[in-house]
Amino acid sequence: MLAEVAVGVVVLVISTVLSGTLPGRAAAEAAAEGPATAGGLPAASVTTIPFDAGIPGGTGKVQITLDPGRVGANGVQAVVYGPDGGLSAVPELRLALTLPAQDIGPLDARIRDTGGYWTATGLTVPLAGTWTMKVTVRVSDLDQVTVSAPVRITG
What is the predicted pLDDT for the residue at 148?
Answer: 92
Q: Is the dihedral of CA 128, 67, 115, 110 positive or negative?
A: positive
What is the predicted pLDDT for the residue at 24?
Answer: 61
- Give the number of other CB atoms < 10 A from CB of residue 90: 20
User: Shortest CA distance to 81 belongs to which of 43, 120, 135?
Assistant: 135
* pLDDT tens digit sequence for 73-132: 889 999 988 888 888 888 899 999 999 888 888 999 999 998 878 999 888 988 888 999
CATH superfamily membership of 45-153: Macroglobulin (MG2) domain (2.60.40.1930)
Whether 45 shows a pLDDT value over 70: the answer reads yes
Query: Which range, of 4-13, 62-71, 128-137, 141-150, averages the lowest pLDDT?
Result: 4-13
* pLDDT tens digit sequence for 23-36: 665 555 555 555 54
What is the predicted pLDDT for the residue at 36?
Answer: 47
What is the predicted pLDDT for the residue at 23?
Answer: 62
How far is Cα 49 from Cα 78, in angstroms, rounded to an integer? 11
Taking the domains of the chain in order of start, what are their residue ranges? 2-32, 45-153
| Average predicted confidence (pLDDT) for the chain | 81
Length of the chain as a residue count: 155
